[in-house]
Amino acid sequence: MSTTQLLATSQTEPAPNGVAGALPAFGAIPFGLSFVLLWLSPNFSQTGLIIYYSVAYIIYEAMATIVYMPYYALTPELTEDYDERTKLTSYRMLSTSSAA
């Protein structure tokens, strides 16, 4: 699912807790499993490995979109004030970079 499709779905599909809560919860386990797929080393031929890792990476990126996009879209939902959004984004980025 691309980012555009995810955003379109989030605007048209109502969820009881909002899309920002439903999609990350729905995608957490598949996201973790897709990450594991990237580190497996199956006994395939060279061509098989290229196909395997290409598909595994596409699945990983799709799951990452489902988990991350609602998180990024949450800031505009919290406040309409530009300065507050800037502060929230700054705190989020500081927390993300200090946690890594």
The confidence score (pLDDT) of residue 19 equals: 53
The confidence score (pLDDT) of residue 27 equals: 82
Calpha distance 15→84 (Å, rounded): 26
The confidence score (pLDDT) of residue 62 equals: 92
CB-CB contact of 1 with 66 (8 Å): yes
* Burial profile 5-30: b = 16 or more Cβ within 10 angstroms, e = fewer: ebeeebeeeeeeeebbebbbeebeee
Predicted confidence (pLDDT) per residue in 2-16, tens digit = 555 655 555 555 555
Amino acid at site 90 = S
Q: Which residues of the chain have pLDDT under 50?
A: none
The confidence score (pLDDT) of residue 42 equals: 95
Q: Domain-by-domain residue ranges, the chain?
A: 3-99
The confidence score (pLDDT) of residue 74 equals: 79
The confidence score (pLDDT) of residue 50 equals: 96
Tokens at residue 84, please?
Answer: 């507050």
